[in-house]
Structure 1
């Protein structure tokens, strides 16, 4: 069972695909999102993420129909032929559909989250700086504590 069906591909893209192409697209998307359909079957993936995964599989399946050599592409960063050159937009542009990449980048576990650092000891402000002018005064600062038995 895949996240999308051939009728989903037709709905999202207007392109007719086979079930085999949907299965191929599912395999590619699973590789990039680092999870499987089993995780969604047991309820570990949210509805929002399932919607994004369905669209990613649909877009990838449609893209596969227009790129029959997708599984045998060479991994390059620059292509030049007959005075025409191209550079991939991202490292996997030769195997991953642009709209599928956009959906994959938006699933919750692939996003960058800000790190929230709590203040030490419940203080709302960071500790005062040590003496940066004199190392001797810094060493004699009473805020220093020993790390072992005195």
Structure 2
């Protein structure tokens, strides 16, 4: 037997089920063989093509991408800040042993976590103040030109 489909004969391995789809036991329950007579493994299986149901609205659906907004960026920054704040609070609460701090003529004791928090804030200010000055300088220069 040839597997050549041009000859008009379909190969046996390509045929699934009866020629007439209305004679299919899967679609017509009256044609089913009672299960007492035939084991489930011997029950005939037939592939039936499924037609796509037309939708009530034939207009194609167009998915639009919502662009990034300032509000979305603000929410992302807010969530990130909340996560960082939670980690910072856990750090401060776990490092509560008092340490002696001396700065210029001032001396005192602070919990370790709080002392490190003040040091981090001072470091941020060391970067933010000159950075803000440079941004203002560039804005003034951009307005002139």
Using structure 1 for the length normalisation, give the TM-score. 0.26
Structure number, greater radius of gyration: 2
Report 1 or 2 for greater relative contact order, CA contacts < 8 Å, sequence distance ≥ 6: 1
